[in-house]
Amino acid sequence: MSPLPSNVHVAQHPCLRAKVSQLRSQQTGARDAKRLIHEISTMLGYEALASSLEPTQQGTDQSPLGYEFPVDSISPSHVSLVPILRSGLSMVDALLSVLPDPVPVFHLGMYREKTTLQPVEYYNNLPYHSATTTSQQTTPSDIAILLDPIIATGATASAAIDTLKDWGVKRIVVCSVLASHEGLEKVSRVWSEGVQIWVGAVDPGTDAKGMIKPGLGDVGDRLFLTIGK
């Protein structure tokens, strides 16, 4: 395989890689798959956000012994999570647990058309800003963390990045459990200066149905027990 683009980062933690192998197994049921995705996403989140956020101080507080200490926070503070429905939901709690404070969670609903394998958007609850409002909740995030366990052909993630860019986000961090090499090359080119991609593992390519091989199967079907729908 050719080298990956510079804005693609593959996790190297041996425990994470072992958990990806466990997740691959056809013997892994829905409950264990959900647990493994949560654990992998947590580890991936620590790596991704260490490179995407900066520490900053916000005043002082007192310890239980009465000593003053500086309060550390993160910059930028205007961060949001954007899971791609359905399977992206499985990564939300993990990333929320990594961040020091609650953040907005917006949703993009997309599915692949079976014949063309192109993404079709069916849901979008991004709060597009109105000129009559000043709430930070309606303005684009400084960083949007896009969550999707699988990047196969890259078409869905690319479409989601275009949507977030149109919304007006300044930067996008993509977190994915597994990606194909070809999918990563496609996604990395959509907005190379504004997107950083973090993945747990990379497989060489996809089959005729657009599924990663050897892959993880259809993560949404595995999580929600809808195999054979």
The neighbour count for residue 47, using CB atoms within 10 Å, is 19
State pLDDT tens for residues 96-116. 999 999 999 999 999 888 888
140-to-20, 82, 90, 206 alpha-carbon distances in Å: 33, 12, 24, 34
User: Sorting pLDDT into bands at 50, 70 and 90, what band is 137?
Assistant: low
pLDDT at 111: 86
pLDDT at 204: 95
Give the least confident one: 16-30, 177-191, 215-229.
Answer: 215-229
CA–CA distance, 32 with 77 (Å, rounded to integer): 33
pLDDT at 82: 98
**Contact by Cβ (8 Å): 162, 169:** no
pLDDT at 135: 55
Of 212, 208, 210, 142, which is closest to residue 176 (Cα–Cα)?
212
The neighbour count for residue 28, using CB atoms within 10 Å, is 18
User: Sorting pLDDT into bands at 50, 70 and 90, what band is 139?
Assistant: confident
Query: CB-based contacts of 147: which residues, under 8 Å, 6+ apart?
Result: 41, 81, 82, 83, 84, 88, 91, 92, 95, 175, 176
**Contact by Cβ (8 Å): 187, 29:** no
The neighbour count for residue 144, using CB atoms within 10 Å, is 29
State pLDDT tens for residues 177-201. 999 999 999 999 999 999 999 999 9
**Contact by Cβ (8 Å): 91, 146:** no
pLDDT at 130: 47
Token pair for 1: 């395989």
pLDDT at 155: 95
Give the least confident one: 56-70, 105-119, 155-169.
Answer: 105-119
Q: What is the DSSP letter of 105?
A: B
What phi-psi label fits residue 6: left (phi over 0), alpha (psi between -120 and 50 degrees) or beta? alpha
Q: What is the mean pLDDT of residues 54-63?
A: 95
State pLDDT tens for residues 147-156. 999 999 999 9
* DSSP H or E segment with residue 162: helix 155-167
Q: Tell which wins on pLDDT, 192 or 117.
A: 192
pLDDT at residue 132 above 70? Answer: no
Q: What is the dihedral sign for C-alpha 122, 163, 161, 177? A: negative
pLDDT at residue 133 above 80? Answer: no
pTM of the model: 0.92
Q: Which residues pair with 73 in a beta bridge?
A: 56
Q: What is the mean pLDDT of residues 224-229?
A: 76
pLDDT at residue 136 above 80? Answer: no
Task: Give the domains, in start order, of the chain with CATH numbers.
Answer: 9-56+74-224 (3.40.50.2020)
**Contact by Cβ (8 Å): 183, 206:** yes
